[in-house]
A and B are shown apart, each in its own frame.
Chain A
Amino acid sequence: AQSVAQPEDQVNVAEGNPLTVKCTYSVSGNPYLFWYVQYPNRGLQFLLKYITGDNLVKGSYGFEAEFNKSQTSFHLKKPSALVSDSALYFCAVRGRTTSGTYKYIFGTGTRLKVLA
C-alpha cells in the first residue's frame, strides 16, 4: 500500500537560512510525488511535483525538491527562508482508490516556522 511520512511535526529555521522539510514515501511502481503549502484558514496551494526525469524539481516561490529513489525521499528545500514561508506543508503521493482510480495520499503535514 502507498504511504507518505513526514517525520517532523514542526521545523524552525532562522530567516535567511536554508530550510528542509522531509518526506519519505512507500509505493509500488513509479512514484508520483507532490508538495503543497497551506496558510492559516486557507486551501492548499500546489508547489511542485515529481513525475519523471530530473531528480531536482523546481517549483513556486523559490522552493525545490530532491527526489531520491534509493532513500525513497522527496525533501522540500529552499536556499533562503523568508518569514512569509511560515505555513503548513504537505507531501503527497498518488495512490489508488477502492475503485482503482487515482487519489492523493497525504502526509500528516509539517509546520514550518521561520524566525525573524
Chain B
Amino acid sequence: SQTIHQWPATLVQPVGSPLSLECTVEGTSNPNLYWYRQAAGRGLQLLFYSVGIGQISSEVPQNLSASRPQDRQFILSSKKLLLSDSGFYLCACGASGGPEETQYFGPGTRLLVL
C-alpha cells in the first residue's frame, strides 16, 4: 500500500518569504497527486492536482503554484507568502482518477505566516 510523506511538518514563515512544501509517495506508480488546504481545522479546499509528471491543474486562482518534477514527487510553492496562506496543507494520492477513486492523505504541513 502507498505511503505519503510530507515535510516539513510545521513551518513558520514571514510575510513575503518564499515557500516550498514537498510531498513524496511510496508504494505506487503513476499516482494522481493532490494538494489541499484546510483552514481553521475544517473544510478542505482542493488547490492543485496532477495526473502525471509536469501536468498540473489548478482549481482556484491564488498565490501558490505546484510542480511535479518526478512521478512520485509533488511540490507546492510560493514566491511571496501572504498572511492568508496560513493553514494546514495536505497532500493526497489516488490510483485511478475515476469516480470510484479512493484518495490517501499524508500527515500534513502546518504553515503559519506572520
Contact = CB atoms under 8 A, between A and B. Distances in A.
B98 A42 contact: no
Interface stretch (B12-20, B63-71, B76-84, B103-111): B103-111
B101 A90 contact: no
Nearest to B46: A103
A90 B103 CA distance: 13
A4 B60 CA distance: 19
B45 to A, nearest CB: 9
A104 B103 contact: yes
A101 B51 contact: yes
A43 B6 CA distance: 10
Contacts of A71: none
B105 A32 contact: no
A74 interface: no
Given A51-B100, A88-B41, A103 B108 contact: no
Interface in B41-74: 41-44, 46, 49, 51, 57, 59
Sorting the interface of chain A by its residue count into under 10, 10 to 19, 20 to 34 or 35 or more gives 20 to 34
A42 B107 contact: yes
Given A51-B100, A88-B41, A43 B105 contact: yes
A4 B84 CA distance: 25
A44 B42 CA distance: 11
A34 B94 CA distance: 14
A22 interface: no
Interface stretch (A62-70, A78-86, A92-100): A92-100
A102 B101 contact: yes
Contacts of A90: 44
B97 A101 contact: yes
Contacts of A44: 44, 90, 92, 105
B15 to A, nearest CB: 23
Given A41-B108, A49-B100, 4 more contacts: A46-B102, A103-B46, A103-B49, A107-B43
Interface of A: 30, 32, 34, 36, 41-46, 49, 51, 88, 90, 94, 97-99, 101-104, 106-109
21 contacts: A32-B99, A34-B102, A41-B88, A41-B108, A42-B107, A43-B105, A43-B108, A44-B44, A44-B90, A49-B102, A88-B41, A94-B101, A102-B99, A102-B101, A103-B46, A103-B49, A103-B59, A106-B44, A108-B42, A108-B43, A109-B43
